[in-house]
Structure 1
């Protein structure tokens, strides 16, 4: 299971500014040796909130723990209406897609933050492409949303067009804060050395689980609070936690910014374009997927049609995205939400596309919720083999 998060954070949804909460986990690596450096970043989304889905879901924790153990910086988050995120679940899933794109943009901004790219850069050994990986995935409802994410170029353009006071600007600001915590963490790992790393439990290697929140723009703070957040986050306390982490991890002579306010300008114009990968556990296909979207086309959009993110956003070709990037689908033969026959047929159609990189694993006897420990272990082993072979 996942250990204590390296950091907690809040940020506004690109769909309508509702405040979401998330967690970030740093991999246990020394960062200075190339073979130990992070392989990239991963986002993994939870099941349907009205049925109890949130980032504490056992499957989310199991998959997240595996990814952290394999060198990924992992982000989990709550869709609107789940646990402490604001709002309520939508009928069409378009708002939740906007929530996921917000996290997608956050991670891309972290990967492009000053100083972070060098820790994600790996040399080209034996003619193997070692570009950093951005793994996007989810379980159940979360996998359905992940399968409809827009192309990476769309999200990079959103970051480039961020205007002062916008949700995009606030997301870039949060990315800068979290990037500073990561850089301080890497430096601390290097100073301790390999011997001390092996001797210390994982929990002592994490920062402090501080919350990164609050908004740079007063107009953004007013707009986001107006959207009806159910939480009453103490903004001043959140800012103090940012400063505490910076003093502890980011000011040991490494030259990183330690001022009182992070700026979105400190996140460089997007230059790192990672390799995308998709991980879908117990995906929803067929009738239940149509019901979850109220039989409408699921595409990323903003509630405000005048926003920059709403302009020129094409409908994603789900099948093309999954088949053209490394993708793994894992499902059980006894899934009562989606027929395994339909899921397998969908996977076979993806595999049949020219140049397809789609793989799938069918776990005999497994249901949708992976309650049987032995069957869940088979699912995790399938994911592990795929991740190790990427």
Structure 2
């Protein structure tokens, strides 16, 4: 199971500004670079269908997330709209949930592009990382895997970040990434001092880095708009700002600035320069009638409800098969899955792997069902994920 998250935070959905509940988990910083099991990167893993109880506390999300955390990933999980404390309701088309996922996708790209983050997730110094790129793993289980399989190309999301206007959802996402990057850098320094046995010189409160909460929005206009769109929580902006400043002081270090991230500084920020390598992980993907029903027979494409929002309308549809075969991808499913069609999933996987130059792989777990209730079969699934991570590193 996953440990307590290092931070709980909220993001506005790029689809329509609804507020999403999110969590961020930091891996234990290694004292030796390039350990055998260390991959280095960021990962997002999405949960199953909310009306059937899916949320970021799903057991499969926890078991797969634990594997990713052990392999050095900074892990984000989140609740789609209508799940737990995220605002709104589950849509029939899946388009709104796709926008929810893209919000976390954009957050992770902005997080990676904050100064100092890449060096720490790659676990090396500036010289060692000069020719290396971090990994961004996009994944999901069941319904979450269906949404993850239809995400837009990374260039589309980077352009949204580059053209963020003050008060927009994307601008608030960048602000949140800045805040949490500072928390991550402070956490890394604490962990590195742990490795150097300097714990006695650190205040006790600095060592307690788990459970910090980040919320609220820098722009009053954005805060009002997002609240009006159906947020389930009432946020006192001043209380939140004081909380953020308190966490910054606890986690801040001499090496990294933890000053306030004003709108002016956000506008002056240079466009993201780090374009991570993508990896894709789908667990128990939906194929056949179930996936068609879940999206009411529509072609999933990232859209924004507000026609004035940063353009995504003209973004090309990313073909799922091309995305999976052109990036390091893994699909894991069970032969006894009664929630979808194992035969269709198997045929689909074999056709993807047979594509020229394909980097896709799959694991078929005999006797495993959709929900992975059998501990022995679930361990086979997580073992397959771990083996794949080491094989593509």
TM-score range relative to shorter protein: over 0.9
Q: Which whole-Å deviations, capped at 9, do the CAs of 1:242-265 have from their partners, x for residues lacking one?
A: 112211111x32241323758534
Q: Which whole-Å deviations, capped at 9, do the CAs of 1:295-334 have from their partners, x for residues lacking one?
A: 0110000011232133421111111001000000000111
Q: Which whole-Å deviations, capped at 9, do the CAs of 1:155-194 have from their partners, x for residues lacking one?
A: 1111001011100000000000000001111111222225
The one of 152, 155, 171 equivalent to 2:154 is 152
* Cα 1:387/1:218, change in 2 over 3 Å: same
* Higher mean C-alpha displacement, 308-317 vs 7-16: 308-317
Is residue 63 of structure 1 aligned with residue 64 of structure 2? yes
Cα pair 2:16 2:306 within 8 Å, conserved? yes
Distance in 2 (alpha carbons) for counterparts of 1:283 and 1:196 = 46
CA deviation after TM superposition for structure 1 residue 267, in Å: 5.5
Distance in 1 (alpha carbons) for counterparts of 2:126 and 2:23 = 31
Is residue 162 of structure 1 aligned with residue 161 of structure 2? no
Distance in 1 (alpha carbons) for counterparts of 2:34 and 2:269 = 26
Q: TM-score, normalised by structure 1?
A: 0.92
Q: Which runs of 5+ in 2 are unaligned?
A: 200-205
Distance in 1 (alpha carbons) for counterparts of 2:84 and 2:388 = 31
Cα pair 1:176 1:266 within 8 Å, conserved? no
Cα pair 1:27 1:68 within 8 Å, conserved? yes
Cα pair 1:46 1:139 within 8 Å, conserved? yes
Alignment partner, residue 178 of structure 2: 176
| 1:317-332 → structure 2 map (5 Å cutoff) | 317-332=319-334
CA deviation after TM superposition for structure 1 residue 360, in Å: 0.6
Distance in 2 (alpha carbons) for counterparts of 1:307 and 1:75 = 25
Task: Please tell me the root mean square deviation across aligned C-alpha atoms, in Å.
Answer: 2.3
| 1:115-130 → structure 2 map (5 Å cutoff) | 115-121=116-122, 130=132
Q: Which runs of 5+ in 1 are unaligned?
A: 198-203
Secondary structure, in 3 states, of the residue corresponding to 2:281? strand
The one of 337, 347, 371 equivalent to 2:373 is 371
Alignment partner, residue 339 of structure 1: 341
Distance in 2 (alpha carbons) for counterparts of 1:205 and 1:372 = 37
* Cα 1:205/1:362, change in 2 over 3 Å: farther
* Higher mean C-alpha displacement, 322-331 vs 304-313: 304-313
* Cα 1:375/1:78, change in 2 over 3 Å: same
Cα pair 2:101 2:148 within 8 Å, conserved? yes
Distance in 1 (alpha carbons) for counterparts of 2:196 and 2:375 = 34
Alignment partner, residue 289 of structure 2: 287
Cα pair 2:74 2:121 within 8 Å, conserved? no
Alignment partner, residue 201 of structure 1: none
CA deviation after TM superposition for structure 1 residue 370, in Å: 0.5
| 1:66-145 → structure 2 map (5 Å cutoff) | 66-121=67-122, 130-145=132-147
Cα pair 2:72 2:121 within 8 Å, conserved? no
Cα pair 1:133 1:276 within 8 Å, conserved? yes
Q: Which whole-Å deviations, capped at 9, do the CAs of 1:217-261 have from their partners, x for residues lacking one?
A: 1111111011011222343333222112211111x3224132375
Alignment partner, residue 242 of structure 2: 240
Distance in 2 (alpha carbons) for counterparts of 1:260 and 1:135 = 27
Alignment partner, residue 51 of structure 2: 50
Distance in 2 (alpha carbons) for counterparts of 1:306 and 1:234 = 28
Q: Which whole-Å deviations, capped at 9, do the CAs of 1:15-46 have from their partners, x for residues lacking one?
A: 0000001000000014x643267700000000
Is residue 17 of structure 1 aligned with residue 17 of structure 2? yes
Distance in 2 (alpha carbons) for counterparts of 1:38 and 1:386 = 11
| 1:187-198 → structure 2 map (5 Å cutoff) | 187-194=189-196
Q: Which whole-Å deviations, capped at 9, do the CAs of 1:341-389 have from their partners, x for residues lacking one?
A: 1000011111111110111111111110011111111101111101122
Cα pair 1:13 1:20 within 8 Å, conserved? yes
The one of 227, 237, 253 equivalent to 1:225 is 227
CA deviation after TM superposition for structure 1 residue 117, in Å: 2.5
CA deviation after TM superposition for structure 1 residue 337, in Å: 1.4
Cα pair 2:44 2:138 within 8 Å, conserved? yes
Alignment partner, residue 203 of structure 2: none
The one of 286, 291, 307 equivalent to 2:309 is 307
Distance in 1 (alpha carbons) for counterparts of 2:44 and 2:190 = 24
Secondary structure, in 3 states, of the residue corresponding to 2:86? coil
